[in-house]
Chain A
Amino acid sequence: MRTLKIILTLALTCIFSAGVLSLSDKLAEHKIKENQKKAINQAIFKMIKQAAKIQALAGKKIQIYKAFDKNGHTAGFAFIAEGSGYQGKISILCATDVSFRKLLGIEIIESMETPGLGARISEDWFKQQFRGLSVLKPITYGKKADLNNNQIQAITGATISSRSVVRIINNAMKKAEKTAKNEQN
């Protein structure tokens, strides 16, 4: 009897909680998506200076954006790279130049890394390092940044997070390149 009551109490609490949560999630889903879209657009405008208009392309495996300048010429590309970090998903927005050769910058859209350590991937000095790196060969990481070797400086005490960012971007680059190349022709 007693065990049954315990099980019932826990089950009911969980069912109730799940119900309330799925309801509030439904209510907020639309707004959250809208906010994310806004944040992505703003980040693209910031990284691709000439961009005046942004169009989302239907990439098969990856979300790609194409930016146009005032006259309607292509100004650059941006893609969303996603993968797991030290503590859950990291979502990175990467911008490249028109020819898809160089990174113009990256922006961390979503991450759950450790505050004070891994979360420092969102700091400007870390993100700035990706500016000007080549998209054609894999990015590496080390103790010092080296533009010629396509290398960034990892964050002290957060090697896993730094490595994750590099790996996520490297993986996404290949996928994004194909879609972008198709679009260029």
Chain B
Amino acid sequence: MSKTKLLPIFKKGLWENHPTFRQLLGMCPTLAVTTSALNGLSMGLAVMFVLVFSTFIVSLIRRLVPAQVRIAVYTIIIATFVTIADIFLKANFPQVSKDLGPYVPLIVVNCIILGRCEAFASKNTPLKSVIDALGISSGFLWGLMLLGSIREFFGSGSIFGITLLAKGFKPLIVMILPAGAFLVLGFLVSLINFIEKRMKKC
């Protein structure tokens, strides 16, 4: 096990295997909570916490769990960490908790997490799994933040609550409505495909 192998695993989640723009997984929180950059950031961090700890535990016990019940066991582990994240947010960041609402408990059914547990953590060492989880969730985090920033910029004229556009600006309400989420996501996915094609040609 050399260190050189870990960096590619991490990098994969950031671009090549990007959960939002490449695998198009976890669309529910992606589309629903990215009405502002801050919401995207908090959702990204919550997912990072859950993903890192769940994949770590799943990888630790990967040889002990009978194959027939592995999904049930993974789900319980994921749900445990999601509930901890939910309780933590309620106690320390009540406003964030209120803004994200039911989407925090819904991380349980976020397919990115079960996907990483089943596809990676159940077959790899804890160290590799945590690196993979960090990569994927960092990718998810920048994806959500970018989406949230764009929607907040056009929909409310600000980013992270800081007003950027002059007073005469009329916000495009559609951008903070569900339709805006689909529009921005579509543009971003095509943009990323375009960049990818360009990079391959070079």
Chain B residues, CB < 8 A from A2? 66
* B66 A9 Cβ-Cβ under 8 A: yes
Q: How far is the CA of A16 from the CA of B101 in the complex (A)?
A: 27
Nearest CB in chain B to that of A31: its residue: B91
Q: What are 28 A-B interface contacts by the 8 Å CB criterion?
A: A2-B66, A6-B66, A6-B68, A6-B69, A9-B69, A13-B73, A13-B76, A14-B76, A17-B76, A20-B80, A21-B80, A24-B87, A25-B87, A31-B91, A31-B92, A32-B90, A32-B91, A35-B90, A35-B91, A35-B94, A38-B94, A39-B94, A112-B102, A115-B101, A115-B102, A115-B103, A116-B178, A119-B102
Chain A residues, CB < 8 A from B101? 115, 119
* B77 A13 Cβ-Cβ under 8 A: yes
Select one of B66, B68, B84, B91 contacting A20, CB under 8 A: B84
CB distance from A117 to the nearest CB of B (A): 12
Check if B202 is an interface residue, CB within 8 A of chain A. no
Residues of A within 8 A of B (CB): 2, 5-6, 9-10, 13-14, 17, 20-21, 24-25, 28, 31-32, 35, 38-39, 112, 115-116, 119
Q: How many A-B residue pairs have CB under 8 A?
A: 54
* A32 B87 Cβ-Cβ under 8 A: yes
Contact-size category for B = 20 to 34
Q: How far is the CA of A9 from the CA of B79 in the complex (A)?
A: 16
Q: Using known A-B contacts A20-B80, A115-B102, determine if residue A10 contacts B94 with beta carbons closer than 8 Å.
A: no
Residues of B within 8 A of A (CB): 32, 64-66, 68-69, 72-73, 76-77, 79-80, 83-84, 87-88, 90-92, 94, 101-103, 178
CB distance from A67 to the nearest CB of B (A): 22
CB distance from B140 to the nearest CB of A (A): 20
* A28 B69 Cβ-Cβ under 8 A: no
Chain B residues, CB < 8 A from A13? 73, 76-77
Q: How far is the CA of A32 from the CA of B93 in the complex (A)?
A: 10
Among all A-B residue pairs, the 4 with the closest Cβ atoms = A28-B91, A31-B91, A17-B80, A35-B94
Chain B residues, CB < 8 A from A115? 32, 101-103
Q: How far is the CA of A5 from the CA of B64 in the complex (A)?
A: 9
Chain B residues, CB < 8 A from A5? 66
* B103 A9 Cβ-Cβ under 8 A: no
Nearest CB in chain A to that of B72: its residue: A10
Q: Using known A-B contacts A6-B68, A10-B72, A39-B94, determine if residue A24 contacts B103 with beta carbons closer than 8 Å.
A: no
